[in-house]
Chains A and B, each alone.
Chain A
Amino acid sequence: MSENSEHSEHPGHDVQREVSELEGKSTTASRLFDLRVIIGGLFVVYGVIVTIAGINPSQATLDKAEGVNINLWTGIAMLLLGIFFLGWVKLRPVPPVELPEEDEGA
């Protein structure tokens, strides 16, 4: 295909044909999971862990963080972010993608 770039009518036609063909067979859109679930799940778990660490902080912990209960606030913020992503999935689920034919392989 590299020779074509020297003479034929347009050097990009091979690339475009090849990529269009591969796009037709691509399975990413139909099979890749929804990332929002992972972000939501991880941040809910992190949020809970860090919030619990922030309940009843020791005086040493507070002194270190300039008197701010940083675990509690960070934990709550992470929990809210996680809930936001899970709520987003709930409200706007991924529209089903029509599967390409002859599915097996990979």
Chain B
Amino acid sequence: MQTLQPPTSLAAGLRLPTNGLDYTILAIYFVVVLGIGFAARRSVKTSLDFFLSGRSLPAWITGLAFISANLAATEILGMAANSAQYGAYTVHWYWIGAIPAMVFLGLVMMPFYYGSKVRSVPEFLLLRFDKWAHLLSSVLFAFAAILIAGVNLYALAIVVEALLGWPQWVAIIVAGAFVLAYITLGGLSSAIYNEVLQFFVILAALIPISYLGLKKVGGWDGLTDKLDAAHGHNFTTAWGGTGIGSVNPLGANWLTIVLGLGFVLSFGYWTTNFAEVQRALSAKNLSAAQRTPLIAAYPKVFIVFLVMIPGLVAAALVPKIGTSGSDLQYNDAIPYLMQELLPNGVLGIAVTGLLAAFMAGMAANVSSFNTVFTNDIWAKYVVTGREDSYYVRFGRLITVIGVAASVGTAFLASSFSNIMSYLQTLFSFFNVPMFVVFIVGMFWKRATPKSGFWGLLAGTVTAMVNYFWIYKQGIISIPSDQGANFVSAIAGFVAGAVVMFVVSLFTQPKSAEQLQGLVYGTTSPGMTEAPAAGDDAWYRRPALLGWGAVILAALCYIPFSF
């Protein structure tokens, strides 16, 4: 077994020993990214082409873009950080905190989304509820998308400064300019194409890091031995120490994990976050749209190993990581291993993958922001009824404005120690109420148009009050930010549901006729289209793909449960 090197070499920071070879690899990637933008430009004629790729992409492309839009660098570095801090609990964010929701989206919700031909998640609320719910959700989403794009940009600048020595403003300008260029040129098509490309590059980066990291600590057994000795056995299990009332570093118990993370946060994120759903709406038919999140579920089951292993390895190699005894933050887990293990060549691939992941994460938010802002806010309430080409031009303009705004919000992220925690906090405030309104509206015919708006408002306010006032002011004690997120999410969900119920009792529901294709148990013309030739093959059946993913995720829990 290797002897551990004390992390003294880190006095000089995390600067990577990049050379010309690595920069060549990076430069090639940037050229290809721009090339995709220019080449996709000629496919953009209508606003539907620009915002939704003309609803014409094949399932494997939308599926990989779906996972890639989630696999931003903040997620990669943040989940490695989570693993270094909390251990194997990270698997919950994948197996219970993603797969069931992705399968639910594909099997249950997608026929309503895709079949109703809406172009965005808020537009569905317009059909199901009224313009107040629509406007509120559009504004909340636009706001959140810019914030998250800003988080990505800020994180990129910090990482690039540490790793490559570029000043922060250079990194922000370069990344912002490339994202701006390829989205304004090719719209969603070039965002999606770049996401698929990024998926493969990031795998080519993470697999060598995980493999060499494991080898360095003596394989999986060597890793768990070291961590068990340092942190106790619960650190390398999924459920150890999560009994109600018992103490664990995550600050959560099995109930808040299952309800808060697995149900509310995860369903809110995966089923109503338009940055994700947009990828499925751009698929070429209902079958492809349904398969989008299901195809994405399979890589999602296994990607956890590629982010968790580097985090655990870093925790084993640098026992004081994240404390005052070490220069390293939890977020530095992957950069640290890149520096320690990767020779020039693969190092260039890893740097490229990381930068690509930052840009894709930002691009996913920018491309969903410009769609919602143009279709749902501008075209419906500000400048209505113009010719289609006007809205394409406006979409390009608002992309420029959105990128500029996200640069401005980048600094908001700086007050949180853990990037992931910050993102989860935002999601609990914006996606959870959206999810309540969706789930109640989709399954309860009696939910009235007015209840949508009030449920959305009540849920958002409750989650915020719970987090910023009750938790941050110490009125009730929750041991960690993550634990507080889970509780805030549950509180927001319950408040939204109760308010919707009460408002529905006192206001007028829509007629059955008006709810066709919007409520569970009804159909719309778009849902009854026959599958395209070849889509009826057994391995393309959504039910089989979906349940297969759920079973796979459940099986993955077994080795981590003891």
Contact = CB atoms under 8 A, between A and B. Distances in A.
A38 B345 contact: no
B272 interface: no
Chain B contact-residue range equals 35 or more
Contacts of A75: 345
A71 B200 contact: no
B287 interface: no
B interface, over-half SS = helix
A105 B216 CA distance: 58
Given A2-B126, A38-B32, A38-B36, A70 B197 contact: no
Given A12-B517, A15-B127, A23-B54, A39 B345 contact: no
Nearest to B345: A53
B42 A106 contact: yes
Contacts of A35: 61, 193, 196-197
Contact of A25 (B39, B46, B127): B46
A78 B204 contact: yes
Contacts of B44: 27-28, 106
Contacts of A65: 212, 341-343, 346
A50 B309 CA distance: 24
Contacts of B92: none
A80 B348 CA distance: 19
B7 interface: no
Contacts of B41: 106
A10 B43 CA distance: 33
A75 to B, nearest CB: 7
Contacts of A49: 21, 24-25, 345
Interface in A72-106: 73-75, 77-78, 81, 105-106
Contacts of B388: 22, 25
Contact of A32 (B43, B212, B342): B43
Contacts of A42: 28-29, 32, 197
B49 A46 contact: no
Interface string A1-24: 110011001111001100110110
B215 A15 contact: no
A77 B207 CA distance: 11
A12 to B, nearest CB: 5
